[in-house]
Structure formats: structure tokens, C-alpha cells
Homo-oligomer: A and B are copies of this chain.
């Protein structure tokens, strides 16, 4: 039997922290004289009491450290608990959602998906919009920490490949996990502040700048306006491009750059491939649009760059009617969403690293076919990739595609149209944000979906965000027996 007390202890602390974080939206609404501040006070107190009680009841349980099983449980249930408690202010105050919609909204926030239940964002109290963006930001931070500290130990999806890299390279400078986390937080804060300042300097109000900076750096996608980024069309789109890209690059490289080592960032094969593939997608769509539509080059270039990077990075802001662009751009966007950002970033989906490994494996296999006796080794960035990593990458990819298929089936079963079901499954598993189809509101909100579809998407978003295997592993009966 697994001892769940250390797990409960950490989750209790996470919920306390979440409650404390509610001080920010509370203060904002209180200063604005909006009675909605009470919702944050009540929710915050509930979180601190509930989380505190659990943490206290299980104090000392952590002394012996965490086993592998406990790390899995912690990762999954920390998110589940945070999605539940993070939903409180949205039920108790504006927008006054029902439980299901509020949990959907909080899950979409904490998983950095960015699909919303709400139409009428512009009319919400500022606190509510700040809280939604903060959920993104906290979720993004959480996942980078999990990706850098837990996943390599958990060996999920081939992440063990980065274990030695992350720890070796940093070994000299940052020997302990706490140091890595604190370096991460610093960089994350610096990126967010830089983004907010740039947004404010170039035309957003202070409030909009903060909300959108929180959503951008976390590649989340919530906006404080129903228009999403169409409200900020122009130079602000280019600013967003820079910070969406930053949010989907490997944060380990930023830590190194922060220490003065810029070379690893530019030399990183994943970074190069990611930027190159973004450029290809943008180039292809721009060429197509220029040939088929009569639009000014600047508009096409800007809108294409913004929306491609938005989907590729998994942010999911929109500044144009993507579905109206035509089939070719739509298919390209759909595929970029299934690739996603780099490992140990806030980006989601399969990730560039895994495609690079898979492509190497395919090439190797093709070479083996006609030269079966030559010695072939799979290499990535000069290092040999052992079969353990390859098998994990493969399993991840298979599981991702199977999950995507099954989510589509489940969503179609709830009565959604084919296109809606497939794009909603895509947006959930890859944590992108937008969905397309007749059931989607003109603003992009998914509130009209059947209840069953919302539950399926909640499950899908968690699955995608927690790298699938972390979730599936705890569903195995054997997991609980060992």
C-alpha cells in the first residue's frame, strides 16, 4: 500500500499557496470598489483552511522523502486539487459559473490550455480576469518545475534523456533542486515583467498588459477580452510573438544564459528546429495567402506570424478568423498544434524533441533496410540515444495519438459535430486553446458544449498537460499493488 500522507502534505501546501495567491485579485477588486473581492477572500480563506488542515495533519510525513509512486500521485493530484480549489472564486463571485463550468475554466487555466466557458469577458470584474490569467501563470510555472525536476526521474516520455544534461551542466553552478526552482522563478518573473512592460509601452492599459503578459509567457491564451488578441492588432502582435516563443523554448537554456552561457541556447538542436519549423509554417501560409487573396503583405505577414506562433507554441491567442483562411493554412495550423514547443518549457503537445528523435529513428530504420549489416546508432545532438529513451518516446507518441483519437470519439459521442469534436480533442490533448465548429461561440467560448463534452475535455487537458503517462500510470491496478 502506498503511503499517501507525504503526497497529501505537499498538496495541502500547494492549496495554501493557491489561497494566498488570491490576495492579488482580491486587492485589485477591493481597490476598484468592486464587491467581487469578497469572492476571493472567501475562496482564499477556504483554501488556506482546507490546505492547511491537510498539511498539518500530515506534518512530518515528508521526512523520509518521496518514492517514485508518490511523485506520480503528487504530480497528478496536485493538479486535480488545484483545478478544484482554483475554481472557487469563479463560483462564489463573478462570473458566477456553475461548478462544472468553473472547474473547466480553472483546469483550462492551470493546464495553460486557454479554452474558455465565458462570453462577456470585457464586462467581468478585473479580479476575475486577473485570476484566470494567474491560473495560467501558476500552472505554467508548475509544469516547468515538474518537467525539470520530476519528469526526468519519472522517465516519462523519454525525459530521462535530459536528466544528466540538466543536472550535469548545472551541476557546478546549481547543485540543488531548490536552486533550480528559484532560478526558474526568477527567469519566469523577469520574462513576465518584460512582456508586461512592452505591452504597456506599446498601447495596452496597465491591467491588460499584466493579464496578457501572464497568459503569454505561460503559453496559456486566456484574454480579458472576447476579441482575444484581435483587440491589440498591430505592433503588439509582434511583441506577443517574441514572448510566446520565449515561453515555448527550453527554460534550462534561459537559466544557463542567465548564468552568462548564451551558447547552449543558440546551439540547442531543439531550439533551432523549433524556430525553423515555425518559419516554414509562416512562409508556406504567407505564400499561399498572397497567391490566393488580395491583401497587403504587412497584414498577411503579421497575422500569419502571430497566429502560427500562437498555435505552434500552444498559446492559442487568436487575432484573425483562422477557420476562414482556407483549408491549407488550417491544416498547417492543426499540424503545428500536434508538434508543440520544446521540452522543459510551458509549451505542450508532443514537443519538438520527440519528433526529432522519431525522425532520427525513421531515418536510421530506412538506412538499415538496405544496409542491414552496417552499425547504426541513434544520435541526438551528438549523444547516443539508448533504447530506453527511444522506447519511451515511441510510447509517448503512440499514446498521444491514441488518446487524441479516443478523445475525438468520446467528444463526438456527446453529440458534437465532427469538426468540433476533432478540434476540441486537439485543443484539449495539446493544450492549445481554440476549437472550431458550429457549437463554438463566435468569441471562441465553449460554454454551449454538452456537459459530458466538458468533462471529457477536462480529462483531456489534464492528460495532455501531465504528459499522458503520468496520468495513465496511476490508472493501472498494478501501480497500487506494488
Which residues in A have some Cβ–Cβ distance to B below 8 Å?
68-69, 72, 154-156, 288, 326-328, 330-332, 335, 338, 358-359, 361-362, 364-372, 387, 390-392, 394-395, 397-399, 401-402, 405, 408-409, 412-413, 415-422, 469, 472-473, 476, 478-479, 482
Task: Out of B370, B395, B479, name the residue touching A365 (CB < 8 Å).
Answer: B395
Beyond A331-B408, A361-B398, A370-B482, list 17 extra A-B contacts (CB 8 Å).
A155-B369, A288-B413, A327-B415, A328-B409, A331-B421, A335-B405, A335-B408, A358-B395, A361-B391, A362-B395, A362-B402, A365-B392, A366-B473, A370-B479, A387-B387, A394-B394, A418-B419
Q: Which residue of B lies closest to A158 (CB)?
A: B365
Chain B residues within an 8 Å CB radius of A413: 288, 328
Contact at B327–A417, with CB atoms within 8 Å?
Answer: yes
What's the Cα separation between A156 and B331 when bound, in Å?
29
Tell me the number of copies of this protein: 2
Contact at A367–B476, with CB atoms within 8 Å?
Answer: yes
What's the Cα separation between A431 and B328 when bound, in Å?
23
Task: Out of B156, B369, B472, B476, name the residue touching A154 (CB < 8 Å).
Answer: B369
Task: Out of B156, B326, B372, B401, name the residue touching A155 (CB < 8 Å).
Answer: B372
A412 and B330 in contact (CB under 8 A), knowing A394-B394, A395-B361, A398-B358?
yes
Contact at B479–A68, with CB atoms within 8 Å?
Answer: no
A-B contact pairs, 16 of them (CB 8 A): A72-B370, A154-B369, A155-B368, A327-B421, A328-B413, A331-B409, A331-B412, A332-B412, A361-B391, A365-B392, A365-B469, A366-B473, A367-B476, A369-B469, A369-B473, A394-B397
What's the Cα separation between A120 and B413 when bound, in Å?
36
What's the Cα separation between A155 and B330 when bound, in Å?
36
Q: Which residue of B lies closest to A393 (CB)?
A: B394
Chain B residues within an 8 Å CB radius of A368: 155
What's the Cα separation between A412 and B330 when bound, in Å?
9
User: What's the minimum C-beta distance from A323 to chain B, rounded to whole angstroms?
Assistant: 9
User: What's the minimum C-beta distance from A144 to chain B, rounded to whole angstroms?
Assistant: 21
Task: Out of B154, B366, B391, name the residue touching A469 (CB < 8 Å).
Answer: B366
Q: Which residue of B lies closest to A354 (CB)?
A: B398
Contact at A418–B330, with CB atoms within 8 Å?
Answer: yes
Q: Which residue of B lies closest to A332 (CB)?
A: B409
Q: Which residue of B lies closest to A72 (CB)?
A: B370
Q: Which residue of B lies closest to A406 (CB)?
A: B335
Q: Which residue of B lies closest to A323 (CB)?
A: B418
Task: Out of B387, B394, B419, B482, name the residue touching A419 (CB < 8 Å).
Answer: B419
Chain B residues within an 8 Å CB radius of A364: 391, 395
Chain B residues within an 8 Å CB radius of A68: 369-370, 372
What's the Cα separation between A89 and B421 when bound, in Å?
44
What's the Cα separation between A398 and B354 when bound, in Å?
11
Task: Out of B369, B391, B418, name the residue touching A331 (CB < 8 Å).
Answer: B418
User: What's the minimum C-beta distance from A460 to chain B, rounded to whole angstroms?
Assistant: 14
Chain B residues within an 8 Å CB radius of A420: 327
Q: Which residue of B lies closest to A420 (CB)?
A: B327
